[in-house]
Structure 1
Amino acid sequence: MLSDKEKKDKVEEWYSQHSDDIFKYIGLMLNDYHKAEDLTQETFVKSFIYFEQFQYNSSVKTWLFMIARNTTIDYLRKNKKYKIIAALLSKNLESDVINTAEEIIELKEDVSYLYTSIKNLKPAYREVIILRKIKGFSTKETSEILGWTESKVKSTLFRSIKKLEQELNKGGYVYEQKFS
């Protein structure tokens, strides 16, 4: 059993390594980056409080994301806000060279439309897209974070991608790249 100082040092190390990802994840879930700061802090306070419960059956990052998810859901429930808003699925800007202001505007319009389409998805679909496609968690890690089976993650992701493509197509937008 670690002393409080050792636990504090370990949690500070985790904070240094993972706070940016946790903050972005919560911010995407809430679409409120000011509140995301508070909930990120709360996530790490809870990691200190429940430190002994971490069994190293999963990665520290996965465990922290589970805490962040539960903290965010608790916040939404307490505030009667059941809107879980996903993030922008960004295009790979490293491989696309943007030469003109017009191309930049077109990209912003595409991202804006994608964001609007994601907002129209039901919460479970948004959440699985955030974790798998935006945050890059594996199916196993996503299942641990959401408390689902791996097969439920896979099937929900499949349905969410199809639904997102339908949403995109409603406005005449055809996304060339498949998400799966």
Structure 2
Amino acid sequence: MSLNKKNEISEWYVEHSEAVFNYIFLLTHDYQKAEDLTQETFINAYKFYESFQKNSSPKTWLYRIAHNATIDYVRRRKPLLFFKNLFLAADPTPLPEEIIEMKEEINEIYTILQSLKSSYREVIILRKIKEFSTKETAEITGWSESKVKSTLSRALVAFEENLLKEGYEYEQKVEFYRVKSD
């Protein structure tokens, strides 16, 4: 066992495990499964460390491993709940009734996000929630950059249509929708 390999994977774990867990949790909505898949991600990173070509960042490579582990899980077990954490309160100390209202809105928006097909959910999560670039998203999903862009465009249109169907004005309710593009 290479000490350098062990140290590097340990550093990556410290730096990225929480973000990888959150990404997987967004996809699975299962805390225990997200923990298991996060562990699996870092075990696979250790196993396949030599295949890391360093033409992408360790973070992007880890997300690719997490993506593959999660896709394998999804294929084995359907249906899964997919959602987005929208707790982006402007006021750091909202009133109790505001918290209840935000939770209700978040649950409704989770449901809308869940209604999208899986490729749409994933590209929205990676690009708009996790804020990966188009290139990084392409590396994580194994898609071309043009497929990422076109899928995101279609996903946002579908998401907007579903929001409007539910009576939301997306500019006010969904802050990630208009986040910067590459």
For normalisation by structure 1, the TM-score amounts to 0.90
Give the counterpart of 2:106 among 111, 126, 129: 111
Give the counterpart of 1:41 among 28, 31, 39: 39
Could you tell me the percent identity over the aligned residues?
53
Q: Which amino acid aligns with 2:80?
A: K
Distance 2:153 2:71 in 1: 23
Alignment size in residue pairs:
175
* 1:81-120 superposed matches below 5 A: 81-83=78-80, 85-91=82-88, 93=89, 95-96=90-91, 99-120=94-115
User: For the Cα contact (< 8 Å) 2:41–2:69, is it kept in 1?
Assistant: yes
- Residue 84 of structure 1 and its aligned partner are, at CA, apart by 5.8
Distance 1:26 1:99 in 2: 28
User: For the Cα contact (< 8 Å) 1:143–1:153, is it kept in 2?
Assistant: yes
User: For the Cα contact (< 8 Å) 2:87–2:102, is it kept in 1?
Assistant: no
Q: Which amino acid aligns with 1:138?
A: S
Give the counterpart of 2:57 among 38, 56, 59: 59
Q: Which amino acid aligns with 1:89?
A: L
* 1:25-174 superposed matches below 5 A: 25-77=23-75, 79-83=76-80, 85-91=82-88, 93=89, 95-96=90-91, 99-174=94-169
- Residue 36 of structure 1 and its aligned partner are, at CA, apart by 0.8
Two-structure CA RMSD over aligned residues (Å): 1.7
Give the counterpart of 2:13 among 15, 25, 39: 15
Distance 2:79 2:103 in 1: 27
Distance 1:106 1:98 in 2: 14
Partner SS state of residue 176, structure 1: helix
Offset from partner CA, 1:125-161 (integer Å, 9 cap, x none): 0000110111110111001101111111111111111
Q: Which amino acid aligns with 2:6?
A: K
Distance 1:84 1:7 in 2: 35
Distance 1:81 1:113 in 2: 21
Q: Which amino acid aligns with 1:41?
A: Q
Partner SS state of residue 171, structure 2: coil
